[in-house]
Amino acid sequence: MDISKVQYKLIFTDASEKVLDLHLRSDSLTPVAWLPAKPPEWAALDNHKCSHCPLSSDQHAFCPAALNLAKLVEECNELDLLDTVKLVVKTADRVVVVSATVQKSLGSFIGLLMATSDCPPAAFFRPTARFHLPLATEAETIFRAVATYASAQLLRREQGKEAAADLEGLYKIYADLEIVNTGISARLKTAGLDGTIAKSLMEWDVFSGMFAMRAEEVMDKMRPLFSAYLEK
């Protein structure tokens, strides 16, 4: 089994470190040896289950997204989200070194964990997880999302399936993700774990809710860069 690794290392001002190693199956991008041996009660599927979740607790006792976040909650929920750290992210393709807050650092890692979980609404983000870009800006995230969605429509067309000619489907994907984020936050809050991880999730929640509006603004600003395509 071919395994790839993504490592997030947070180096604090006192030289202490927090290392998060995520091993992923290269073919499916599902985690290896990351899920908790004993899942926490707050991760139960029927605990604040998302309204659009297609899973049944008969076959899935726990929420896949919550399971992927459980270890992070256990290890990092008490960190000061406003602390500035030196973040070192290592993947098979590159090493990224930046200065960032704990909240920004963990928020980036949370995005990767959500995309590599077995949560059906989050599965649409698996392609971008393959080309993970730590601490991506809003514009970078939007462009990557639009490019991924457009690529998916091309693949659908090649298979003779109906393909979208607009971004309404992408907006729906982000609206569904907002519901997932809200559900995870509710789970953590009722379990008394309304700490760093829940607050880091909040940024994703706000971004997901504003995605459609911001995507149109970003793509409008980028339109001149596509002149070579548009003028033919």
- Reported as a single tens digit per residue, the pLDDT across 182-202 is 999 999 999 998 888 888 888
User: What pLDDT is recorded for position 70?
Assistant: 94
Residue 117: what pLDDT?
95
User: Do 179 and 220 touch, CB atoms closer than 8 A?
Assistant: no
Q: Which run of H or of E encompasses 32?
A: strand 31-32
- Give CA–CA dist 205/176, Å, rounded: 11
Identify the pLDDT of residue 60.
Answer: 95
Query: At 23, is the secondary structure helix, strand, or coil?
Result: strand
Give the three-state DSSP class for 95.
Answer: strand
Q: How many CB atoms lie within 10 A of CB 159?
A: 8
Q: According to the model, what pLDDT value does residue 113 have? A: 96
Q: Could you report the per-residue pLDDT of 34-50, keeping only the tens digit for each?
A: 989 899 999 999 999 99
Q: pLDDT below 50 — which residues of the chain?
A: none
Q: What is the pLDDT of residue 121?
A: 96
For the chain, the residue count is 232
pLDDT for the residue numbered 198: 86
DSSP at 125:
G
Reduce the DSSP state of residue 115 to 3 states and report it.
Answer: helix
pLDDT at residue number 1: 66
- How many Å from the N-terminal Cα to the C-terminal Cα in the chain? 46
Q: What is the pLDDT of residue 210?
A: 87
Q: Supply 54's token pair.
A: 């297609």
- Half-sphere exposure (Cβ direction) of 160: Cα atoms closer than 13 Å: 0
Q: What are the extents of the domains in the chain? A: 3-230
Q: How many helices, marked H, and strands, marked E, lie in the chain?
A: 8, 5
Q: Which residues pair with 85 in a beta bridge?
A: 100
Residue 162 has a pLDDT of 96
The pLDDT of residue 195: 83
Q: Where are the alpha helices (DSSP H) in 116-167?
A: 126-130, 138-158
pLDDT at 232: 72
